[in-house]
Amino acid sequence: MSGLALNNVTKEFGTFTAVNNVALTVPHGTFVCMLGPSGCGKTTLLRMIAGLELPSAGTISLDGEDITQVPTHKRNLGMVFQSLALFPHLTVGENIAYPLRIRGAAKEDQVKRVADLLAMVHLGGYADRPVAKLSGGQRQRVAIARALAISPKLFLLDEPLSALDAQLREAMQVELRQLQQKLGITTIVVTHDQREAMTMADTVIVMKGGEIRQAAPPIEIYRRPADSFVADFIGSTNLIAAEADSAGRVSVLGQAVPGISLGSGMKTATLSVRPEDVHLTAPGDGALSGTVTFVRDLGGTIETFVDMSGQRIVAVSTPRARPQVTVGQPVGVVLQPDVCVVLAK
């Protein structure tokens, strides 16, 4: 089968399990972002794919070939480290040509490949420039070009954009995605940045405690999270306790919410409701009751914080749809059934 396959991969460091029984298939040409809190195992998993760590159990296959024991330099992959790891004593061109030189490529082939790659990353004419004279974004492009020099089967990046300022980071996210689409190369990125993952990935993998909690397209991760951890980790959400009576009627904070079903046999659950899906109205008319505690104007959006029997609910609206409310004002909170995701407690 074409692509990358991890078969029940585990990595232990003494008594600590960093990655636990991970099974994953990445089709050829897919852009994957691995996301999760610090210590969740995403970098360890990337290092095992790269061959920098050996699994304690399980196997790793690439295009049907078992590469679990294959050394890193024989896996035909390119990798960009968080530190970039460029050679400061070499020029831009020499850095990019380095993996070709150690593989014995002819000098003229090196020169042509370097020129092609520099044009691809929008650094044409920079071959003789010292690396130390480059900006952060330019060094990032050089590291990407060097990793792509050998036309790898896999392109791996470990938090490659974390050192860039916010504006440059967003620009590089778009550039990196467009480059991957142009080359059609299987790409796996480790990141802490949720926006980065949602912007670039075909598939987002959310990890916690060494395990994959959900692997799905970004919109599915956002709209249909697998559990309360994923719902709370990706973007922002309101997690609200709900319970059903013997007749299946659902109540939230002691107030009935028609149209919501918890599923067969479920008596209690957690509802995940994104802030942009919470609507505020006048009290009554079947809406849940609450009191405004804080209003925050962020320019592009307005956040309204509402207290409902001790539970904080956040509603987000655009400036044009801004609710005319003030702190201390009673409001109605409307939760539409089709935007409430039911999660097992």
Query: Is pLDDT at 61 greater than 80 in this prediction?
Result: yes
Q: What is the mean pLDDT of the chain?
A: 91
Choosing among 2.40.50.140, 3.40.630.30, 3.40.309.10, 3.40.50.2300, the CATH entry for 236-343 is 2.40.50.140
Asked if residue 149 lies in contact with residue 71, where contact means CB atoms within 8 angstroms, the answer is: no
Mean pLDDT of 220-226: 94
- Which tens digits make up the pLDDT trace of 276-328? 999 999 988 778 899 999 999 999 999 999 999 889 999 999 998 888 899 99
265 pLDDT above the threshold of 90: no
Q: What is the pLDDT of residue 1?
A: 46
* Portion of the chain with pLDDT greater than 90, in percent: 69
pLDDT (0 to 100) of residue 309: 87
pLDDT tens by residue, 86-136 = 999 999 999 999 999 999 999 999 999 999 999 988 899 999 999 989 988
Mean pLDDT of 155-161: 89
Query: Where residue 6 falls among pLDDT bands split at 50, 70, 90?
Result: very high
The three-class DSSP label of residue 127 is: coil
**197 has a pLDDT exceeding 50:** yes
Quick one: pLDDT band at residue 345, thresholds 50, 70, 90? Answer: low
Q: Does domain 3-229 have CATH number 3.20.20.450?
A: no
Residue 329: predicted pLDDT: 96
| Residue ranges per structural domain of the chain | 3-229, 236-343
pTM of the shown model: 0.88
Sort residue 14 into left (φ over 0), alpha (ψ -120 to 50) or beta: left
Spatial separation of the C-alpha atoms in residues 203 and 26, rounded to whole Å:
9
Residue 179 clears pLDDT 80, i.e. is over it: yes
